[in-house]
Amino acid sequence: MFLAAAVFLLSAPASASQGDKEPVYRDCVKQCVRTNCTGARLRGFQSSQPPYMALTGWTCRDDCRYQCMWTTVGLYQAEGYSVPQFHGKWPFARFLCFEEPASALASLLNGLACLLMLLRYRSAVPRQSPMYHTITAFSLVSLNAWFWSTVFHTRDTYLTEKMDYFCASAVILYSIYLCCVRTLGLRRPAISSMVGVLLILAFTSHVSYLTFVSFDYGYNMAANATIGMINLLWWLCWCWLNRRILPYWWKCGMVVLLLHGLALLELLDFPPLFWVLDAHAVWHLSTVPVHFLFYSFLIDDSLHLLNTEKPGVKLD
């Protein structure tokens, strides 16, 4: 529901940054490609490249950009200047094939936490619970988003970037549907069905625009932020209205506030500590424990709905 709803705060990559605009960097890349990425030297590079690097799509040119990035960083530091960004990102020390090791690990941990708690939810809640299938579907959408987040932070390519953004948007929109089903759809299924259709249309239009018209990072962030804010206010209103009825309401409110508060870590935007840990990775790591509180709320609420789903009993 909420755990990937903060994904809209991903820093938007820029087409060019201070580091990759530097003549020394550009000249270094050109010279490296000309020297190492043709003929016998290219074949030598390919034959000596570890299989995991080849499988994740690292090319000779990519390796040149990586080496020249560190050459440029060294020159900046030697002159006493602050560390620059390259292609919209801070410089990260590559580990095996992982381009951003800490963020990739954090995304993987979020996915594993989501999977673990989904399994716990399915073992604790009978299938007859009114929200069972909706929550299961949402969890699968979230797992897909964390998978692509892990892939994207492992290897940033045109495809992995788009999949990371699109899958994050899918989670945000599905979280609205989940909220609608829980607050309105149990008593008025037609409303949640209409909202579901509208959200599918919105997602299709969003992806189509970003794919076929313009991949506008500003628009993507604004669209997801708007949906995220609607989700935030909707759930907080529901929590407030049910605070005297449902003893576990505070779990829902805490999850919402924690996730939106933790997302502010993105604003720190500092150069990576030890060239590995940046603000984005810290944010992703901080959301891992929230999964456990989130699913604790879902289990409590699903069991409550199951016990109150009787003739003449109002579904809160």
**Predicted local confidence at residue 148, as pLDDT:** 96
Question: What is the helix (H) or strand (E) element at residue 111, kind and residue range?
Answer: helix 101-124
How far apart are alpha carbons 185 and 187 in whole angstroms? 5
**Predicted local confidence at residue 13, as pLDDT:** 52
Q: Do the beta carbons of residue 282 and residue 105 sit within 8 Å?
A: no
Q: Do the beta carbons of residue 179 and residue 235 sit within 8 Å?
A: yes
Q: Do the beta carbons of residue 148 and residue 160 sit within 8 Å?
A: yes
Total residues belonging to the chain: 316
Under DSSP, the state recorded for 309 is -
Which among 106, 170, 166 has a CA at the least distance from the CA of 137?
Answer: 170
Cα separation values, 217 from 145, 202, 231, Å: 18, 17, 21
Q: Where are the domains of the chain?
A: 18-79, 101-309
Helix axes 158-180, 132-154, angle to 10 degrees: 160
The tens place of each residue's pLDDT in the chain, 316 residues long, gives 544 444 444 444 545 678 888 899 999 999 999 999 988 988 888 888 899 898 888 999 999 999 999 999 999 999 888 999 898 888 999 998 899 999 999 999 999 999 999 999 999 999 999 999 999 999 999 999 999 999 999 998 889 999 999 999 999 999 999 999 999 878 888 998 999 999 999 999 999 988 888 888 888 888 888 888 888 999 999 999 999 999 999 999 999 999 888 888 877 888 888 999 999 999 999 999 999 999 999 999 999 999 886 544 445 5
**Predicted local confidence at residue 225, as pLDDT:** 84
Q: Do the beta carbons of residue 80 and residue 98 sit within 8 Å?
A: no
* 3 state DSSP class of 237: helix
**Predicted local confidence at residue 187, as pLDDT:** 84
Q: What topology does CATH give the domain 101-309?
A: Rhopdopsin 7-helix transmembrane proteins (1.20.1070)
Residue 212 carries which side chain, given as an amino acid letter?
Answer: F
**Predicted local confidence at residue 186, as pLDDT:** 82
Alpha-carbon torsion angle 132, 134, 140, 144, nearest 10: -160
Tokens of 292: 């456990």
223, with CB counted inside 10 A (0-12, 13-18, 19+), is buried
Tokens of 209: 């625009």
How far apart are alpha carbons 127 and 120 in whole angstroms? 13
- At 311, give phi and psi (nearest 5°): -55, 125
Under DSSP, the state recorded for 212 is I
**Predicted local confidence at residue 16, as pLDDT:** 64
